[in-house]
Amino acid sequence: MTAGHYRVTVTTDGEPLLQGWWDDVEVARRKFAAWIGEHGSWPGAHVALADEETGETLTEWPDRG
């Protein structure tokens, strides 16, 4: 089994907590938003959506920009 094209990662204080992979970017974006709602209040939480083929971070919360 191969991982999907898009990866959503939740970290707390820089340590990985959750990761998931999806082939459809819209599904990955919905999971990204859901995980912000579920885990965004945790101290030091960070959620990122990345394109696994290009290595690009598509969006992150909070924005480190």
pLDDT given at position 25: 97
Place of tokens 């579920």: 38
Ordered mean pLDDT values, 10 residues apiece, the chain (65 residues): 85 94 97 96 95 96 82
Confirm if 36 and 61 have CB atoms less than 8 A apart: yes
pLDDT given at position 65: 63
pLDDT given at position 17: 94
- List, in sequence order, the alpha helices (H) in the chain: 25-39
User: CA-CA distances (angstroms) from residue 36 to 1, 9, 31, 51, 53?
Assistant: 27, 10, 9, 18, 23
pTM: 0.90
pLDDT tens digits for 38-49? Answer: 999 999 999 999
Would you state the structure tokens that stand for residue 50, as one six-digit string? 């990345």
